[in-house]
Amino acid sequence: MSKQRHLTVLGATGTIGVNTLDVVARHPEKFKIVALTANCQVEKLYRQCLQFEPEYAVMLNPDSAGELRHRLRQSGRGTEVLSGVEALEQVAALPQVDSVMAAIVGAAGLRPALAAAQSGKRVLLANKETLVMSGALFMDAVRRHGAELLPIDSEHNAIFQSLPRNFSSDLSENGVRRILLTASGGPFRTVPLSDLENVTPQQACAHPNWVMGKKISVDSATMMNKGLEVIEAHWLFNTAPEQIEVVIHPQSVIHSMVEYADGSVLAQLGNPDMRTPIAYALSYPERIDAGVTPLDLFKIARLDFEKPDFQRFPCLNLAYQALRRGGTAPAVLNAANEVAVAAFLEEKIPFKAIPAIIEKVLADITTRAAESLPDVLSADESARRAAQSMVEAL
């Protein structure tokens, strides 16, 4: 049996965090939880602390941390409660931790994920923004500090599974022609374009296949989610933009494919359940039971594929543009998207204003080389201010 892995779960109360703990609970002999973190969901993190008894719990919100500390003391638990971004970085770099699930949504997840890489951990990366905002910096930290990077997004995990085990980050050396990144098309794949003006946050969050948080659900509806994944794939697998093709696959059964020079296309299939990629990364190179229902091909019966329409999904096109532009452009894209999506969820702007705001911010903000974390964070801040001004002007 392999050694027991000691885990920090960043973003324990979110969808990825909850699914991670579900897999961990099935294999207590293989995994020990050292630290759990959350933003402000005290009750949920409290229950997780009771179940897994971590050494540390971190809440980004200080008031929430105080409440959690009080409740854990009352219950007689010895978990130490910390708060703030620095505490997130601290528990990501703990010497007794060998694996870090980086599942904090948005730009807030960048610094603790980077701290994990700089500490040479096995980083289970579910936070898209880490690579979107600071791909070169993050990949350099992984290489320089001997960290191990395993993707959690179902698509990138599928690509990882479909590449040769000893993949050398050179597609041609490994006989790979291109990567085929599958997308469900979200809830508006067949909705008339004229109707998109009036869609509600509730409609945008009603994903046909996956259970996800609100922000990621809206990103799926605009296909910005897939655009961010294109940028991620560029960094994870050292691929040029033209070597990454997005394929709409409504059934979400094929999670992505790798096309080889000899004409072979290898695909990873499975039911749309995040516990599969989580379990694969947690136990790699072993495979363990994830509690996932086996795939019934007879029940599925058919698999469909479509080309994405950039008129319907302009956010996907904007992501390709930002990737080709390079430097801080992807960070600007991500920041503008986060602001616009938040405004849409608060019903301050219509759905179709999301890509309009992103496009305008990309055009207005001067981008430069992303040579340091301050460069990235400065671009992020400028883009947020510009996007927020546009929201308020609407």
Domains of the chain, by residue range, sit at 5-151, 155-272+296-313, 326-394
Q: Is the pLDDT of residue 165 over 90?
A: no
For residue 188 the two structure tokens come to 């508006």
Average pLDDT over residues 14-40: 97
If we measure between CA atoms, which residue out of 246, 268, 253 comes closest to residue 301?
253
Position 74 pLDDT exceeds 90: yes
One-letter amino acid at 267 equals: A
- Average confidence (pLDDT) over 51-66: 96
- Beta strands per DSSP E along the chain: 5-10, 31-38, 56-59, 80-83, 99-102, 122-125, 148-151, 176-183, 244-248, 254-260, 265-269
3-class DSSP assignment, residue 177 = strand
Each residue's pLDDT tens digit, 98-157: 999 999 987 789 999 999 999 999 999 998 889 999 999 999 999 999 999 999 999 999
The pLDDT score that the predictor gives to residue 210 is 66
Q: Which of 327, 353, 329, 331 is nearest to 342 (CA)?
A: 353
Given this model, what pLDDT does residue 213 score?
Answer: 77
Q: What is the pLDDT of residue 1?
A: 44
**Of 249, 258, 245, which is closest to residue 300 (Cα–Cα)?**
249
Average pLDDT of 154-177? 91
Q: Which amino acid belongs to residue 14? A: G
pLDDT (mean) for 247-255: 95
Q: Evaluate if residue 43 carries a pLDDT over 90.
A: yes
pLDDT band at 16 (very low <50, low <70, confident <90, very high): very high
Calpha distance 32→48 (Å, rounded): 13
What does each C-alpha distance from 184 to 229, 239, 308, 309 come to in angstroms?
A: 13, 22, 10, 13
User: Is the distance from CB of 75 to CB of 50 less than 8 angstroms?
Assistant: yes
User: Above 50 in pLDDT, residue 227?
Assistant: yes
Mean pLDDT for the chain? 94
The two tokens of residue 273 are: 């359940």
| pLDDT tens digits along 280-330 | 999 999 999 999 999 999 999 999 999 999 999 999 999 999 999 999 999
Q: Is 3.40.470.10 the CATH classification of the domain at 326-394? A: no
Sign of the torsion angle spanned by Cα atoms 128, 161, 1, 288: positive
- Sign of the torsion formed by the C-alpha atoms of 301, 307, 311 and 314: positive
The model's pLDDT over 337-367, given as tens digits with 9 standing for 90+, comes to 999 999 999 999 999 999 999 999 999 999 9
pLDDT at 129: 83
The alpha carbon of residue 223 and the mean position of all alpha carbons in its chain are separated, in whole angstroms, by: 14
The Cα–Cα gap between 69 and 75 comes to 10
Least trusted range by pLDDT, from 42-56, 185-199, 208-222: 208-222
* Phi and psi at residue 262, to the nearest 5°: -85, 5
Q: By mean pLDDT, which of 215-219, 235-239, 378-382 is the weakest?
A: 215-219
Q: What are 100-109's pLDDT values in tens digits?
A: 999 998 778 9
pLDDT confidence of 211, banded at 50, 70, 90?
low
Q: Domain 5-151 is classified in which CATH homologous superfamily?
A: NAD(P)-binding Rossmann-like Domain (3.40.50.720)
Which residue from 102, 94, 42 is spatially nearest to 66, judged by alpha carbons? 42
Q: Prior bond to 112 cis, omega within 30?
A: no
